[in-house]
Amino acid sequence: MHCQAAITDGNGNHAIQSITIDDPRGDEVLVQIKAAGICHTDWDSQSWAKPLVMGHEGAGIVVKTGPTVNALKEGDAVMLNWAIPCYICFQCQEGNQHICERNSAVTAGNKVSQGHATFSSTQYNDQPIERSFGLGTMSEYALVREAACVIIQVDMPFPSAAIVGCGVMTGYGSVVNAAKVKAGSSVVVLGTGGVGLNVIQGARIAGAGKIIAVDVNPDRLEMARFYGATDTVLADKADRNLLEAAGQVKTMTQGRGADYAFECTAIPALGAAPLAMVRNAGVAVQVSGIEQEISIDMNLFEWDKVYINPLYGQCRPQIDFPILQQLYAKGDLLLDQMVTRTYALTDLPQAFADMHAGRNAKGVIVF
């Protein structure tokens, strides 16, 4: 079949082009994409030096299934997950499905990963093309592995479902799965973009007593209060390593520092900043995925501080996504409100511009 998709050349450009998708084989599923989230990673993917079908957040309807698909049928509404577990490798058996040794686009690579649907089954200009993170959701249709799909079991619009599979899971899971934030504790969140807002939501749901949001943008701090921040710190762009902001955080936390600090800015220079925000024996969490080499003053670890770098909120999709759906149905997890603007696929340049300007909590492409 033919459909329209956002294709990047890997050299910083993208265009809406026609692709061809074969019928599913084996445990593959063809999903009609109804909504696709817009993430900084999608912007970055334009510069990965290879052609890709863009997009790694999405939700839609199953339209065809391969002969060995077991848990899905045509007509099922699904949300997609890019950390696709195999369930049998060492890490999956350890409970670390998000870093599956066979299927993860992050740990095993994209095209070479067994989590990617048959490479030759998606073609652009008569040549096979990869799907970003094994999904490629900025497309009218996506061919994915069955393990990439989680059935939507509650009444949830597709734009809200689409954003679960990256920023929502990353933020919530970093709080609940990775840091294991305790009720009544104090939490500081550095950066209140889409991921940071979901860290704030996760902390609220976990019962944190004080949730301090730190940002340079006062409008983002207003958003943070809506999602659960109890206090805010408007940081100065000239505040090197956020040390002045850390002083304010300590003042708010009996002079000790917070119990937990989450870095959500993706700014390498702030990679060590959460260590300055937490008390002795506190927990600092690198949420935003900084991969550059940075320098850390080891004095920041004094004393007994822990710094963790979880991927994707340590997601176990078939366990965590249903939990998130139930939290949404109860009204605890705010998703509809987070989708502050929707776009057509052809409006992707404007969507990226709005994202960089911080205009949206989350922008979503709707098909």
pLDDT given at position 94: 96
Q: What is the pLDDT of residues 148-163, one digit of tens each?
A: 999 999 999 999 999 9
297: CB partners within 8 A, 6+ apart:
272
| Spatial separation of the C-alpha atoms in residues 89 and 363, rounded to whole Å | 35
CB 347: neighbour CB atoms within 10 A? 15
Cite the DSSP H helix spans in 115-232: 158-162, 167-173, 194-206, 218-227
**Cβ atoms of 338 and 330 closer than 8 Å:** no
**Cβ atoms of 102 and 86 closer than 8 Å:** yes
pLDDT given at position 126: 95
Residue 303, preceding peptide bond in cis (omega within 30° of 0) = yes
Q: What is the mean pLDDT of residues 65-69?
A: 98
Q: What is the mean pLDDT of residues 115-142?
A: 96
Owner of token pair 């950390």: 83
Helix, strand counts (H, E) of the chain? 10, 19
Q: Comparing C-alpha atoms, which of 164, 221, 174 is closest to residue 37?
A: 164
Full set of structural domains in the chain with CATH: 2-167+314-366 (3.90.180.10), 179-309 (3.40.50.720)
**Cβ atoms of 42 and 54 closer than 8 Å:** yes
Residue 262's identity, in one-letter code, is F
pLDDT given at position 274: 96
59: left (phi over 0), alpha (psi -120 to 50) or beta: beta
Residue 32's identity, in one-letter code, is Q
Owner of token pair 């320098």: 295
On the question of pLDDT at 108 being above 70, the answer is no
Residue 2 corresponds to which tokens in the numbers above?
């033919």
Q: What is the mean pLDDT of residues 8-19?
A: 97
pLDDT given at position 113: 80
Q: What is the pLDDT of residues 301-310, one digit of tens each?
A: 999 999 999 9
Q: Comparing C-alpha atoms, which of 133, 98, 73, 151 is closest to residue 321?
A: 151
| Spatial separation of the C-alpha atoms in residues 159 and 314, rounded to whole Å | 23
On the question of pLDDT at 128 being above 80, the answer is yes
Q: Write down the pTM of the prediction.
A: 0.94
> Largest Cα–Cα distance of the chain, in whole Å?
64
Rg (CA), the chain: 20
pLDDT given at position 256: 96
On the question of pLDDT at 196 being above 80, the answer is yes
On the question of pLDDT at 110 being above 80, the answer is no
Q: Comparing C-alpha atoms, which of 314, 300, 312 is closest to residue 270?
A: 300
On the question of pLDDT at 112 being above 90, the answer is no
Residue 207's identity, in one-letter code, is G
On the question of pLDDT at 125 being above 80, the answer is yes
pLDDT classification of 201: cutoffs 50, 70, 90:
very high
